[in-house]
Amino acid sequence: MPGAAVEEPELFENRMFGSASNNESGDNCQNCQKCQKWRFKTGVSLKIEYCLALLVLAVLVWLGWFNVPFWHVGAVFRGKMTSNMVHSQVSGFVLAGGKSVRMGQDKAALELNGRTLLEHALAAVRGVCRDVAVLGRYDRYGALAPTYEDIFPGCGPLGGIHAALSNSQTEFNLIIAVDTPFLASGFLAYLAERAVASGAVVTTPEIDDYTQPLCTVYSLDFLPIAEKAIKAGNYKITPLFPRNQTLVIKEQELRGFAFAADMFENLNTPEDMDRARRRFSRVDA
């Protein structure tokens, strides 16, 4: 037994469990080398160290549950990516070449909260990607950003995706539609990070069991898939996603990072625009 003249710290069991009565040896646990190995040299009590260890373990288990790489831990606690996450590995494209039949006019030029829908979309993508371009008519949009027209006109959004990948200088390419003004740069940054980390041909979110092909990261490996489909007259995008090379980010994972599903709301009609203006006015208020 050590001398009683030196005041020793409380027993490990006393501090963690409230009792040392089960110490069979009768020796004070603080002198046991086995217990000393559990001490972190932080200058704080073992109880705090133990709680911190449990917290770290819980975070790691949570990340593993959602299959999220550890470098996204910062995003977990911040709740969003920052402008410092601009990617040189990912190019950004805004698909603005639609016919806008239901809207009755060019959606890209419609104003919402002081900016056009195209300006909203470009701002969101520029918060993530270093190189940003527009997919549509050069005479309409060329003054705002580099603009690429369809190589195969009349093929719908797939033609725009094909044009983007044909002109891209990077392996990964974020493509969004011009009519989704509520997409947050934080979410787009997360999507880009997941795409680069996984190396998937397609990285796409899924909301209400529907993937979002016009808010998706495509690798250059999707280019021959798109071109083959266009030449065959198949213009639907989602069926072209390669089953074993597509990373689908489920709604549960998005909610885990506080990304709201309603940010995917797209604007197709004048009524949709009115609803969007009311939504922006509530945010401003």
pLDDT category of residue 260 using cuts at 50, 70 and 90: confident
Residue-level pLDDT at 156: 94
Check whether 168 has a pLDDT greater than 50.
yes
pLDDT digits (tens, 9 = 90+) for 195-248: 999 999 999 999 988 999 999 999 999 999 999 999 999 999 999 999 999 999
10 Å CB burial of residue 87 (0-12, 13-18, 19+) is buried
DSSP secondary structure of 146-206: -EE--SSTTSTHHHHHHHHHHH-SSSEEEEEETT-TT--HHHHHHHHHHHHHHT-SEEEEE
Residue-level pLDDT at 36: 53
State the chain's mean pLDDT as an integer.
79
Check whether 285 has a pLDDT greater than 50.
no
Residue-level pLDDT at 77: 38
Q: What is the mean pLDDT of residues 83-109?
A: 79
Residue-level pLDDT at 282: 65
Residue-level pLDDT at 228: 98
Chain-centroid distance, C-alpha 79:
11
251: Cα within 13 Å, side-chain hemisphere:
12
Residue-level pLDDT at 78: 38
Q: What are phi and psi of 237, to 5 degrees?
A: -85, -55
| Contact criterion met (CB below 8 Å) for 158 and 229 | yes
Choose between 86 and 189: higher pLDDT.
189
pLDDT digits (tens, 9 = 90+) for 110-120: 898 889 999 99
| Contact criterion met (CB below 8 Å) for 141 and 121 | no
pLDDT digits (tens, 9 = 90+) for 8-52: 444 434 444 344 444 444 445 555 554 555 454 445 566 676 677
